[in-house]
């Protein structure tokens, strides 16, 4: 506060930080190519024609190409069978140009998602969602942390918001965001040491819990679910939401809205991520980081120091 005028929060730009990290990845790509003659490669498997998923996959492939990585994709129709998706996974498991494999989730109804994830070679699981990698994450020795949680931790750390000792409250318990983020924030070591609470649809007195957060992460999937009354003065607020809201005046006919009511919450928070330009670009940057790690693992093996 400045007198009675609320000072708007610092904007935590995922666009800027992701550019920095992607430049670091590009340098790592050059090094691996010079030392080992290997170009790190990522393959994305996209099933169905959800337009939002197509945008993310295209963003991922563009980021790969800009960082000098090899990239490939398999695009299957929404009618693809489990057997056909498994065949695409197996082909990339065997492809020596491909070090990282990402299966875009969610998969169409009727496909047994866990069977597909378990088919990914854990050494190529750059999403960090194979049970082996999730297990290592829970033990505090991840090789591949899921990209969105890893991106959130980088956003915090590189903006001077070390979670150590903080009350971190995560709204959302998905396998790909809420649960792995809880593991990262609670672990011993860099980016961890927080006191973590995970909220979900059955949480009682949600606003009471979120108001205790020094770090508040919204991964709910509902536009503007977090309002100013739910936020403590000075909190750091991370918005994972990417909700498309109809807007006939917008160029594409929709606008992106986060899970946080930005206008009001940014008057109360000390720092906040925007949507777009926050967590989304960080997810992609960490995917490239993990692909570099996968290429190193293919050369040197996993390090058994943890």
Ligand X SMILES: Nc1nc(=O)c2c([nH]1)NC[C@@H]1CN(c3ccc(C(=O)N[C@@H](CCC(=O)O)C(=O)O)cc3)C=[N+]21
CA dihedral sign, ordered 141, 144, 145, 150: positive
- Which one, 123 or 143, has the nearer CB to Mg ion? 123
Residue 105 interacts, among Mg ion, ligand X, none and using kind-specific CB cut-offs from 5 to 8 Å, with ligand X
11 in contact with ligand X (CB under 6 A): no
Is 66 part of the annotated catalytic residue set? no
259 in contact with Mg ion (CB under 5 A): no
SS (H, E, C) 43-111: EEEEECCCHHHHHHHHHHHHHHHHHCCEEEEEEECCCCCHHHHHHHHHHHHHCCCCCEEEECCCCCCCC
Which of 9, 22, 56, 215: binder of ligand X (CB under 6 A)?
Answer: 56
Q: Given its phi and psi angles, is residue 139 left (phi above 0), alpha (psi -120 to 50 degrees) or beta?
A: alpha
DSSP 226: B
CB 209 within 8 A of CB 199: yes
Of residues 106 through 145, those in contact with ligand X by CB under 6 A are: 127
Task: Name the packing angle between helices 147-157 and 178-186 (round to 10°).
Answer: 40
Residues in contact with Mg ion, shown as a per-residue x/- string from 84 to 123 under the rule CB under 5 A: ---------------------------------------x
Of residues 245 through 264, those in contact with ligand X by CB under 6 A are: 256
175: helix, coil or strand?
coil
To ligand X, the closest distance from the beta carbon of 147 in angstroms equals 5
H-assigned helices in the chain: 14-36, 51-67, 82-94, 113-119, 131-138, 147-157, 178-186, 206-210, 262-265, 279-300
Closest-approach residue to ligand X (CB): 280
Of residues 117 through 156, those in contact with Mg ion by CB under 5 A are: 123
Residue 103 interacts, among Mg ion, ligand X, none and using kind-specific CB cut-offs from 5 to 8 Å, with ligand X
How far does the chain reach from its first CA to its final CA, in angstroms? 44
Task: Give the total of residues touching ligand X (CB under 6 A).
Answer: 19
How many other β-carbons are positioned within 10 Å of the β-carbon of residue 167? 17
Residue 153 interacts, among ligand X, Mg ion, none and using kind-specific CB cut-offs from 5 to 8 Å, with none
Is 95 part of the annotated catalytic residue set? no
User: Which residues does 13 contact at the CB level (< 8 Å), separation at least 6?
Assistant: 274, 277, 278
Residue 70 interacts, among Mg ion, ligand X, none and using kind-specific CB cut-offs from 5 to 8 Å, with none
To ligand X, the closest distance from the beta carbon of 236 in angstroms equals 18
How many other β-carbons are positioned within 10 Å of the β-carbon of residue 170? 30
70 in contact with ligand X (CB under 6 A): no
The whole-angstrom separation of Cα 182 and Cα 54 is 28
- Of 9, 290, 18, 250, nearest to 152 by C-alpha is 18
Which of 166, 209, 281, 288: binder of ligand X (CB under 6 A)?
Answer: 281
Is 60 part of the annotated catalytic residue set? yes
59 in contact with ligand X (CB under 6 A): yes
Residue 123 interacts, among Mg ion, ligand X, none and using kind-specific CB cut-offs from 5 to 8 Å, with Mg ion
104 in contact with ligand X (CB under 6 A): yes
Which of 87, 105, 138, 228: binder of ligand X (CB under 6 A)?
Answer: 105
283 in contact with ligand X (CB under 6 A): yes
Binding region for ligand X (CB under 6 A): 55-56, 59, 102-105, 127, 147-148, 242, 256, 275-277, 280-281, 283-284
Catalytic residues: 60, 104, 127
């Amino acid at each position: 506060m400045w007198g009675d005028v609320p000072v708007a929060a610092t904007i935590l730009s995922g666009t800027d930080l992701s550019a920095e990290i992607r430049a670091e990845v590009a340098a790592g790509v050059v090094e691996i190519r010079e030392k080992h003659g290997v170009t790190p490669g990522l393959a994305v498997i996209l099933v169905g024609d959800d337009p939002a998923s197509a945008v993310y996959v295209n963003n991922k492939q563009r980021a790969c190409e800009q960082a000098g990585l090899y990239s490939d994709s398999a695009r299957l129709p929404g009618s693809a069978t489990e057997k056909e998706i498994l065949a695409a996974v197996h082909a990339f498991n065997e492809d020596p140009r491909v070090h990282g494999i990402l299966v875009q989730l969610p998969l169409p109804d009727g496909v047994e998602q866990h069977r597909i994830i378990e088919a990914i070679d854990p050494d190529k699981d750059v999403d960090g969602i194979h049970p082996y990698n999730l297990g290592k994450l829970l033990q505090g020795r991840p090789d591949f942390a899921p990209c969105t949680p890893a991106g959130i931790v980088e956003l915090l750390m590189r903006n001077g918001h070390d979670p150590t000792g903080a009350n971190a409250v995560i709204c959302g318990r998905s396998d790909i965001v809420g649960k792995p983020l809880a593991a990262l924030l609670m672990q011993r070591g860099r980016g961890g040491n927080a006191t973590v609470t995970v909220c979900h649809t059955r949480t009682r007195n949600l606003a009471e819990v979120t108001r205790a957060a020094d770090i508040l992460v919204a991964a709910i999937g509902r536009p503007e679910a977090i309002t100013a009354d739910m936020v403590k003065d000075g909190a750091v607020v991370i918005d994972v939401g990417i909700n498309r809201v109809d807007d006939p005046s917008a160029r594409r006919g929709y606008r992106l809205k986060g899970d946080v009511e930005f206008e009001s919450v940014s008057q109360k928070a000390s720092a906040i991520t925007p949507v777009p330009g926050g967590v989304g670009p960080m997810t992609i940057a960490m995917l490239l980081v993990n692909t570099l790690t996968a290429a190193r693992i293919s050369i040197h093996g996993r390090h058994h120091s943890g």
